[in-house]
Amino acid sequence: MDKDIKSQTKYVKEKDDLSKKAGVKQENTPVVNTKGITVSKEEDYAEWFTQLIQKAELIEYSSVSGCYILRPNAYFIWEEVQTFFDGLIKKEGVKNAYFPLFIPESLLFKESKHVEGFAPEVAWVDYGGDTKLGERLAVRPTSETIMYEAYAKWIRSYNDLPLRLNQWCNVVRWEFKHCTPLLRSREFLWQEGHTVFATQEEAVAETHMILDFYEKVFREMYAVPVLKGRKSEQEKFAGADFTLSVEALLPNGKAIQGATSHHLGQNFSKVFGISFLDEEQRKRFAWQNSWGISTRSIGIMILMHSDNKGLVLPPRVAPIHVVIVPILFEDTRWKVLEEVKIIKKKLEAKGIRVYVDDRDKYTPGWKFNEWEMKGVPLRFEIGPKDVEKKQVMFVRRDTGEKQGLPLVGAAEEAELVLEQIQRNLLEKAQKRLGSSIEKVTVIDKAAVAAGKGKLILAPWCEQAGCEESIKERIGVKSLNAPFEQQPNLKKGHKCFACDGEAKAWFYFGKSY
């Protein structure tokens, strides 16, 4: 976020107060749900996000600054992404493993460019109990060095290749910028794949395949469209030959990096001695990749779809697909609940995750607001009149559309509507992205576009000095160069920001 996170104290007190009074029925007193977000997304994006992730029960603050608790609603989303992505990579022969959290200082400093990129963010362990360690240990900021020490022992022959491992773990990067849950934190969860090949061609092909997988995660799970491309030299991973990324554009006009796939070339294999004998018994250094996606992706999804009522979740990552709110009166209670049991059973038979909110102490209106805050994609309302009419009321979270439908076939209709919601969220985000890209060839027009919150597509020289100048002049940074360069640049085509020759069309934008 643009500014520091709001103090958690206010929200802890608010939560305690709410537990005593908000929404709890008093004798003959109507209940008003006071748990809503108190600012709009449009007026204060940071405050809106801060309130949303707490009131939707995704995040809780801890006593360690910059480190946050992922509550079950958030962790469920991460588990769904894990399952989906794990399935993709395992089909390609990648296996999961686990490597130590602590990395000796001597290992971390083996590759100079790599450590230079991470040194400012490393958390160090100097003591074990009261004993000073002989060598400092870094708390894992990334695992190249600890993994590649082992790879050098395991790889001897071309028969040992390819070696393709992935680990799901946490990492620590001691950010000194403003920490924001799910976007920039000092500890976060991710997967990191580290693969080794006999040839450069195999390795490069994999970087593109993994990037396609990341695009699938964003599109098919999060309903978020992304821009695929190559990062600039200045923005690539420290120690890589090149970095590929997927970038998303948020509704506030800012871009954010979603995931990366790095081709490491032979930079690490030469430092760590990862070599093999080829079929002719010649010694060769291996070619390597690393790639990762983190819990930041959850934050991107939240910012993309959610509104002033709260969270909006694509069904494929929602902990609850359908919440059933029975409208209960003493004389008809049993009839309504019997019908609810039948509906619930039919929905669950189709693999739909269902929750029945039959709590007595809360009004239906309070429940509606609570489940809207938590982003449940579809709500069923059923009362005694609905039972008589043999119908149920459907309410979509994405559009707010409400309609009565026959009880017969309600489960089948729910299945269709959930897919419609998933598709609608993606199409809405795609439309926003498409209308937000502006092609320019001169920096003055780029400045105007940036001021309107647009993404800029421009011919660029890719020089470091020019990149710094662009940041200073119009406040945007390079995102990536699309793989499809349309139109192709002819020799001598000028950079949009300087007199240098343009090398590629690049996306630029204001970015987190």
What share of the chain in percent tops pLDDT 70?
A: 93
| 241-259: pLDDT as tens digits | 999 999 999 999 999 999 9
Which SS3 state, helix, strand or coil, does residue 395 take? Answer: strand
Average pLDDT, the chain: 92
**Which helix (H) or strand (E) is 437 found in, with range?**
strand 437-439
What CATH architecture applies to the domain 70-304? 2-Layer Sandwich (3.30)
Handedness of CA 351, 357, 358, 363 (dihedral sign): negative
DSSP bridge partners of 378: 322, 396
Number of Cβ within 10 Å of residue 258's Cβ equals: 24
List the one residue out of 317, 315, 316 whose CA is nearest residue 298: 317
List the one residue out of 279, 294, 306, 281 whose CA is nearest residue 246: 294
Grade residue 114 by pLDDT with cuts at 50, 70 and 90: low
Cα–Cα distance for residue pair 269/498, rounded to 1 Å: 38
Question: Is 70-304's fold the same as 437-509's?
Answer: no
Burial-class residue 488 by CB neighbours within 10 Å (0-12, 13-18, 19+): exposed
Task: Estimate the share of the chain in helix, then strand, then coil, as percent rounded to the nearest 5.
Answer: 40, 25, 35
Per-domain residue ranges for the chain? 8-69, 70-304, 315-423, 437-509
Mean pLDDT confidence for 230-250: 96
Q: Is the pLDDT of residue 33 over 90?
A: no
| 197-216: pLDDT as tens digits | 999 999 999 999 999 999 99
| 360-406: pLDDT as tens digits | 999 999 999 999 999 999 999 999 999 999 999 999 999 999 999 99
**Which helix (H) or strand (E) is 404 found in, with range?**
strand 402-406
CATH number of 315-423: 3.40.50.800
Q: Is the pLDDT of residue 138 over 50?
A: yes
Q: Is the pLDDT of residue 353 over 60?
A: yes
* pLDDT attached to residue 176: 67
**Which helix (H) or strand (E) is 394 found in, with range?**
strand 391-396
Q: For strand 354-356 and strand 322-326, is the pairing parallel, antiparallel, or unpaired?
A: parallel
**Which helix (H) or strand (E) is 205 found in, with range?**
helix 200-216
* pLDDT attached to residue 504: 96
Mean pLDDT confidence for 345-355: 98
Handedness of CA 126, 132, 135, 139 (dihedral sign): negative
Q: Is the pLDDT of residue 17 over 50?
A: no
Cα–Cα distance for residue pair 457/480, rounded to 1 Å: 10
- Quick one: DSSP state of residue 217? I
**Which helix (H) or strand (E) is 10 found in, with range?**
helix 8-21
Grade residue 333 by pLDDT with cuts at 50, 70 and 90: very high
* pLDDT attached to residue 499: 85
* pLDDT attached to residue 373: 98
| 149-193: pLDDT as tens digits | 999 999 999 999 999 999 999 999 987 678 999 999 999 999 999
| 410-454: pLDDT as tens digits | 999 999 999 999 999 999 999 999 999 999 999 999 999 999 999
Q: Is the pLDDT of residue 220 over 50?
A: yes
* pLDDT attached to residue 116: 73
* pLDDT attached to residue 293: 98
Strand extents, DSSP E, 140-241: 163-172, 187-197, 227-230
Contact 66, 179 (CB under 8 A): yes
Mean pLDDT confidence for 313-342: 97
* pLDDT attached to residue 70: 98
| 494-508: pLDDT as tens digits | 999 998 999 999 999
Number of Cβ within 10 Å of residue 263's Cβ equals: 23
| 456-482: pLDDT as tens digits | 999 999 999 999 999 999 999 999 999
Q: Is the pLDDT of residue 18 over 50?
A: no
Structure-block tokens of residue 315: 């069904």
Q: What is the dihedral of CA 192, 194, 199, 205, to 10 degrees?
A: -10
List the one residue out of 53, 55, 58 whose CA is nearest residue 73: 58
**Which helix (H) or strand (E) is 108 found in, with range?**
helix 105-108
* pLDDT attached to residue 512: 87
Is 437-509 a domain of CATH 3.30.110.30? yes
Residue 113 CB partners (closer than 8 Å, separation 6+): 238, 239, 267
The 3-state secondary structure of 111-167 reads CHHHHHHHHHHCEEEEEECCEEEEEEEEECCCCHHHHHHHHHHHCCEHHHCCEEEEE
| 267-288: pLDDT as tens digits | 999 999 999 999 999 999 999 9
Structure-block tokens of residue 307: 């509104």
